[in-house]
Amino acid sequence: MKVLSKILSVVVGLTVINVWLFRSNRSTSYRGGDAASLLEEFQVYGLEDYFLIIGIIKVSLAIMLLLSLYFKKLSFFASSGIGIMMLVAVYMHINVGDELIKSMPASVMLASCLIIAYSSKKSVK
C-alpha cells in the first residue's frame, strides 16, 4: 500500500500542477459545459473570477503532496485537501448537467486521494 500511495501522490500532484499551470488555457473534453479554459469552466459553474484562487490552493496542496514523499506528515493534509476539492469538482459537473465522462478525471483523483489519505493514516498507527 505504501508504494501505491507514493505512486498516486506523484500522479495526483503532477496532474494538478499540469492542469493549473500548463493546461489552464487549453481546451479538453473534460471541461465543464463547452468551456475551452479554466476561466470559462468556472463561468459555466456560475463562479466569479476570484474563485480562481482555488488554483493557488490546489497547486500548493499538490506541491505539499509531492513533498510528502519526504515529509510524511504532509500526506494526509494534502491528499484530504485535494480530495475535498475533487469532490466539489464532481458535484459541479453534476450540477451543470455534464455527462458523467466529464467528471471522470476528478472522480479518479478523488479516489486516489482517498487511498493516499487512508494509507497515510494507516502508516501512522
CA torsion, points 60, 61, 66, 70, in degrees to nearest 10? 100
Task: Give CA–CA dist 23/20, Å, rounded.
Answer: 6
Q: Give the single-character DSSP code of 100.
A: G
Residue-wise pLDDT for 12-58, tens only, equals 999 999 999 999 989 888 999 999 999 999 999 998 888 889 999 99
Task: Give CA–CA dist 45/68, Å, rounded.
Answer: 32
Judge contact between 30 and 104, C-beta under 8 A: yes
Entry pTM: 0.91
Place of cell 485537501: 81
